[in-house]
Amino acid sequence: MIEYVGIGDVKIAHNPEKLAIIGLGSCVCVAMYDESAGIGGVSHVMLPEPHGESVIEHAERACKYATVAVPVLMKKMIVKGAKKEHLKAKIAGGASIFRELDSLEIGDRNVAKVKEMLRKLDIGIVAEDTGGNLGRTVIFDTKSFKLHIKTKSYTKVI
Active site positions, annotated: 27
The residues facing 45 across adjacent strands are: 28
Choose among 75, 82, 93: nearest CA to 140: 93
CA dihedral 15, 2, 124, 38 (to 10 degrees): 10
Q: Determine which helix (DSSP H) or strand (DSSP E) holds 29, and give its type and residue range.
A: strand 28-34
What are the two backbone dihedrals, phi and then psi, of residue 116, each rounded to the nearest 5 degrees? -60, -45
